[in-house]
Structures are given as structure tokens and as C-alpha cells.
Amino acid sequence: MELARALATRPKLLLLDEPAAGMNAAEKQELMEEIEKLEATGLSILLIEHDMRFVMGICAEIAVLNFGRWIAQGNPAEIRAHPKVIEAYLGNNLRGES
């Protein structure tokens, strides 16, 4: 409902804060498809989301913050492999460090 309300104003930029929160997998997939359709119309979208599968599945460009500090920017493959992102969100142990 909130998405429809926001679109009624015909924005050039749509800000989405945690749109997938509380959704099941099927609902998230539907939302991803709707967001892709909106982007295809030329609408710019800024998405804030903690569900990394959702983010990696929909975003062409990702910026990562850690405690309010910008630590990385790039496409999903670059973000997945970025050492600062791995350290901040996965910990050093997953890279074989102690």
C-alpha cells in the first residue's frame, strides 16, 4: 500500500527503507519483480535493506555502510568479494584468519 501511495506522486526518485521486512520468499520475489518494472520505466530507486539475498538479486550498484561509515561500493560480485565487507559482516574467521 505504501508503495502505491508513493508512486501516486509520480516521483523521479523512490526511497525504499526495508521494503522486504517481514515478507516470505514468494512475496520478496514479487516485490523484486515490481521494483525491476519500476526501474525499467526510468524511475531511480534508492533501497535500504538488510536482506542481502534481496539486495544482491535486485541491485546493480551497492553501497555498504558499517556503523554509519561508507566501506565499499560496487556491483554485487565486487561487494561479495570486498575484504572490508567480509570483515564487517562475516568476520575474519570466514577468510581463514584468526
Task: Please indicate, yes or no, whether residues 92 and 68 belong to a single structural domain of this protein.
Answer: yes
Task: Please indicate, yes or no, whether residues 41 and 67 belong to a single structural domain of this protein.
Answer: no
State the residue range of the domain holding 71. 61-98
Q: Model-level pTM?
A: 0.78
Determine which helix (DSSP H) or strand (DSSP E) holds 5, and give its type and residue range.
helix 2-7
Average confidence score pLDDT of the chain: 90
Task: Please indicate, yes or no, whether residues 55 and 69 belong to a single structural domain of this protein.
Answer: no
Q: Which of 84, 89, 23, 96 has its CA nearest to residue 52?
A: 89
Number of domains in the chain: 2
Confidence of residue 98 (pLDDT cuts 50, 70, 90): very low
Q: At which residue does the C-alpha cell 554509519 appear?
A: 68
Do 56 and 80 contact (CB within 8 A), yes or no?
yes
Q: How does 39-66 read in b/e, with b if 16+ C-beta sit within 10 Å?
A: eeeeeebebebeeeebbeebbeebebee
Task: Please indicate, yes or no, whether residues 80 and 97 belong to a single structural domain of this protein.
Answer: yes
CATH for 3: 3.40.50.300
DSSP code at position 13:
E
Q: How many CB atoms lie within 10 A of CB 94?
A: 10
pLDDT tens by residue, 21-43:
999 999 999 999 999 999 999 99
